Every structure is written in C-alpha cells, then in structure tokens.
Amino acid sequence: MRFAAYEHQHRRRVAVADEDGILFPLPGVTSLTTLIQETEGLPGLLAAGAAALDVPPGPHVSQVRLLPPLQPASVRDFVTFEEHVEGVRRSIEGTSGVPEQWYAAPTFYFTNPHAVYGHRDGIPVPPGSAVLDFELEVGAVIGREGRDLTAEQARDHIVGYALFNDWSARDLQGAEMKVGLGPCKGKDTATSLGPWLVTADELQPHRDSDGFLRLALTAEINGEVVGKDLLSNMSWTFEEMTAYASRGTRVIPGDVLGSGTCGNGGCLAELWGRRGERTPPPLQPGDTVTLTAQGLGTLTNTVVPGADPVPLPSGRRRSRERP
C-alpha cells in the first residue's frame, strides 16, 4: 500500500494511492505521522488504508502538490555502503580505503527533521555553498516504539519505506568536519522524502536470503544517468540499523532511518573521488535530480537559488582569566 500526503485546493490530506495514481483520502486525516503514531504498527496502518479504499476516490496525483509523506519525529542517517565510503573519503578527506572501525557498527548522525522537502519541491542552495551534491538513499520509517531491540524484533517496528535524498553542501561539510563533530550545516538545509510511503509488506517479495531488500536504484541529473546500484549492497539490514538505533534509547513512530548513500554514482562526491576531478560538476540552480528505486517510485527535485549567509564574526581567542 502507498500512502501520500498532498495539498489540493488549499487543503492538506493523507491518502492511499492506487496503481493508476488515484488518491483515496483518509477521512479526517491530515498527518501521516500522527496516523502512524495512532495505529501503532503495520497492521493498524494497513487497516486504516483499507478503509479509505471504501470511500469515493479523490483527485489524481497529477492534480495535487505532493508533500513529504510524513514529517519525521527524527532523522538518523546511516552510512552502510562501502563503495560510497571509499569514494567520498578520497574526495573530501584525500584518504583511501574504509576505516576498520566502520565495520564495527552501522554509524549514523542526526540530521534536520524540520527541513524535509517533497517530490518536485525546489531545493535551495545552502547559504555560502558552491559545491552542492545529492545523495541517493532509502529511508525506513518506524511505526512502533521500541528500546534495545534485537534485529528480529526490529522488523515488526518498521512500517514502511520511502526514497530519501540527503542534499549535501560538500564545501561546508569538508570544513566543519575538521572540528571532529561530523556533518552539521553541510547537511542542514534540505532532505527530500517521497514521493510516498510504501508499506513494508509491499517490499517483502524483494527480500533476499540474507534479509536485504534487493531494489534497483538509479540517479539522474537533467535526464542523464549518473549512478546505478542495488540497495542490497548495504552492509547492514534496516532491521540491524533499527536495533542499533534503539540501543540504550528509544525509536518512536515517525522516526526515519536513512540507508546512507548507495555506491556506483549514488552521489557526486563519490564520483569526484574516483575520477580525480569534479565531473559531473556541483549542482547549480536549474539542475534537476531524479532518484528512482524499484518498488518505491521516483523522487524529483530541482535546485533553486538560496539565501545569502547572514554574516557572523569568527570565534574570539579568549584569555584564560579565572575568577
């Protein structure tokens, strides 16, 4: 089942989308995040969606503005593809290989849940950046609260999946990571999610014998394919990622867990690292990025001009005076 959030005639609605793109609105529902919280898992969400199919259909998806399918409670973005790590380290840090520590656990960082964009939304260039990049990922959505989960338990806590584009200002990212706290403003301006949430049961036929989802992934810039990979090339499953995310804390309904960027052209920085030059060049206003994942649809965004940075002083070198 595919759930969409949309705006039509100045109203925001949540609907089930059929294979022909007809939307079946859920009566009284304006937030998929709230619905996920209230239904507490996949069976409840599927029941709510099935009830919507019994009411008169709404508009076609082409007649509405699609919104991000949900407003995440939080966004953890992992890094689970070796090929991506190799290429980006060479591009941003000037080093090669994969750190041995990377294999110890599915590392993630928290990104901004308040800067989520939907299908066909314009993506502003981050203030002060001249090296904008896309990142092709898939996000898992949590549907039930859990803590200290095993990977086996975690499967029942994932309600669905959506395409995920982690827009990255590589020049800002490279500078701020020298401080040692990871990416911050380099990732803060935009994350795209959509075009809809596909429930977990829909993807079960794509699961391989090791528990990975074997989905074909494609990235295009202005209609030209720049990357292709399989989601099953991840080094951890979404269930293992969820278990790690829940270690010592909670995952809650509406949390989104990004797979991390796929390899073989899942972002420009990886290609730059492998080629030794910025080919294709960084994204500019007017460039359109189209991401496609088997079973999940297509997520398209066009880069638009952003705001100028508000000037701030450099940090003061203070004395060591004590009271």
Please give the C-alpha separations between residue 141 and each of 69, 85, 128, 187, 190, in angstroms, as whole numbers.
Answer: 11, 24, 32, 20, 18
Residue with tokens 């090339």: 233
What is the predicted pLDDT for the residue at 194?
97
What residues are paired with 289 via a beta bridge? 221, 301
What is the predicted pLDDT for the residue at 95?
78
**What are the b/e assignments for 36-69, b being 16+ CB within 10 Å?**
bbebebbebbbebbeebeeeeebbebeebebbbb
What is the predicted pLDDT for the residue at 303?
98
**DSSP 3-state of 137:** strand
Evaluate the omega torsion of the peptide bond into residue 195 and state whether it is cis, within 30 degrees of 0: yes
pLDDT tens track for 135-154: 999 999 999 999 999 999 99
What's the count of helices (H) and strands (E) in the chain, helices before strands? Answer: 7, 20
Segments of the chain scoring below 50 in pLDDT: none
**Residue 23: which of 5, 46, 37 has the closest Cα?**
5
**Residue 71: which of 110, 115, 41, 40 has the closest Cα?**
115
What is the predicted pLDDT for the residue at 71?
97
260/258 Cα distance (integer angstroms): 5
What is the predicted pLDDT for the residue at 119?
98
How much of the chain is in helix, strand and coil states, percent to nearest 5?
25, 30, 40
**Residue 53: which of 17, 7, 28, 20 has the closest Cα?**
17
Evaluate the omega torsion of the peptide bond into residue 280 and state whether it is cis, within 30 degrees of 0: yes
